Amino acid sequence: MQQVAFCDDFLWGCATASYQVEGAIKEDGRKPSIWDTFSKQEGAVLNGDDGAVAADQYHLYKQDVKLMSKLGFQAYRFSISWPRVIPDGVGEVNIPGLQYYIELSKELKLNNIKVVATLYHWDLPQSLQDKGGWANRDTSYAFAAYAKTCFTYLGEYVDQWITLNEPYCSAYLGYLQGIHAPGIKDLGQANKAVHHLNLAHGLAVAEYRKIGLSQPIGITLNPILPRPATRRDEDRKASEYARAFETDVFLLPLLGKGYPSLVTKDLGISYPVVDGDMDCIAQEIDFFGINYYQESAVSYDDTADRKYKNEPVWQPVTNMEWPVTPYGLLRILHYFDTVSNGMALYITENGCASDDVVENGRVHDLFRCQYLNKHLAICKQAIDESVNLKGYFVWSFIDNFEWAWGYSKRFGIVYDDYASQQRIPKDSAYLMRDVIAGYCEF
Ligand code: GCO
């Protein structure tokens, strides 16, 4: 086996999110989130699944941490559930809910695993949605207060903070396409959500700096940079429109570059910006998290709302029907490296769903192993090409509630037999173990 492809200080982790793995939705004072509500709506989630039990990590975290440690993981990226910590979204802090994250963090530390906490991975308290959710500016202030609570109580345990996970999905899947909670289809609300999510991030970072914590803090985006389907200028332009609307409206404000003119001028979209907002959003952060799964191809379409449309692609697809396109990751890493002037980057999610079956106590998920190997090779290439890539978190540690797809899609490197909650490391778990130990096979 080829030895040592990555340097010693590269951070190897695995990732999950609260609503996807915790379960225990009614315990210790937690109140409903928008995903509890959404999953009850007829037809919203495949097979009527919900996160009520999920991987039951709320009860099984010790066992999970032990397994992470056995596999050699150096960091665990989980998310904190806002409706556990402040069940009504604003106001009273629920200490028993916070206690869970203290215990989880302590367990990780005991096992020498770094604590990487995401403040928001889509489980907005339902009471805030009742007042408009992310379309309402007050939600940004509520988020800042919630973030401050987490910094205060958990600051001594957390090694790395992530404010938001994929604001793209919160704004566009939740308020434009309506396929995620809260299930709204309204461009006006989606654009408000974009700005209020950006603002929420900025306000939270401001709170962090005020408190004086010094661990790195950043944000995770899921950059979408489709390639032009042909060499025609208009298709190149289409890919710029897509990047502007899907990625740059989040990325550029964070870098102090404002909203992209392709969106504000050409597409005529406006954001509810109040004096001072753009400076607040552009505060200094320490790293970007990048979640990457796939790349698409687009062509120009004058009749389309945003001037581009997706074209068919040829690559083999994962169980989500997502094409396997590792070079898309290389393009994204270089784009971020260039626009951010070499800021530290982490892959905070990468992985795939596949049809996993247990055979004689093992899960031979060769497709996932190949997928991971290809993307890891790209990470190595990016580093060799001087991209400041500092770590890689596989999505996901364990099979879980895959949002609108419920439990039908398995993304874990550990198999969850939901009926018994038995954990079975898949072959990809052993692949990651070897890679972390310094033995790569790509
Ligand atoms: C995301 C989310 C994860 C998903 C994963 C697979 O990036 O969309 O962070 O919660 O489960 O991406 O779809």
User: Domain limits of the chain?
Assistant: 2-440
Task: List residues forming the annotated binding site for substrate.
Answer: 20, 121, 165, 293, 395, 402-403
Pocket test for ligand 1, best of 291, 317, 332, 400 (most atoms within 8 A of CB): 291
Q: How far apart are CA 270 and CA 390, in angstroms?
A: 35
C-alpha 198/C-alpha 265 separation (Å) is 20
* Nearest CA owner, ligand 1 atom 4: 402
Query: Catalytic site residue 107?
Result: no
**Token match 């032990």: residue?**
66
pLDDT tens track for 181-199: 999 999 999 999 999 999 9
CA of 165 to the centre of ligand 1 (A): 9
Task: Please tell me the residue having the least CA distance from ligand 1 atom 6.
Answer: 402
E strand or H helix that includes residue 261? helix 261-261
Of the listed 166, 240, 246, 295, which one is catalytic? 166
- Count of C-beta atoms within a 10 Å radius of residue 297: 20
Per-residue pLDDT of the chain (442 residues), as tens digits, is 666 679 889 999 999 999 999 999 999 999 999 999 999 999 999 999 999 999 999 999 999 999 999 999 999 999 999 999 999 999 999 999 999 999 999 999 999 999 999 999 999 999 999 999 999 999 999 999 999 999 999 999 999 999 999 999 999 999 999 999 999 999 999 999 999 999 999 999 999 999 999 999 999 999 999 999 999 999 999 999 999 999 999 999 999 999 999 999 999 999 999 999 999 999 999 999 999 999 999 999 999 999 999 999 999 999 999 999 999 999 999 999 999 999 999 999 999 999 999 999 999 999 999 999 999 999 999 999 999 999 999 999 999 999 999 999 999 999 999 999 999 999 999 999 999 999 988 8
Q: Using one digit for the tens of pLDDT, what is the confidence trace for 404-438? A: 999 999 999 999 999 999 999 999 999 999 999 99
pLDDT at 420: 98
Quick one: pLDDT at residue 1? 66
Å from CA of 212 to ligand 1 middle: 31
Beta strands in 317-411 (DSSP E): 344-350, 389-395
pTM above 0.90, yes or no: yes
Amino acid at 26: K
Q: How many CB atoms lie within 10 A of CB 222?
A: 20
How far, in Å, CA of 172 to CA of 228, rounded? 22
Query: Ligand 1 pocket: which residues have CB below 6 Å?
Result: 17, 20, 165-166, 169, 222, 291, 349, 395, 402, 411
Q: Does residue 255 sit in helix, strand or coil?
A: coil
Instruction: Please state at what angle helix 366-384 crosses helix 326-339, rounded to 10 degrees.
Output: 30
AA letter at 440: C
CATH number of 2-440: 3.20.20.80
Report the C-alpha gap between 276 and 166 in whole angstroms: 23
- H or E element, residue 188: helix 187-211
Q: Is 311 a catalytic residue?
A: no
**Which ligand 1 atom lies nearest to the CA of residue 353?**
6
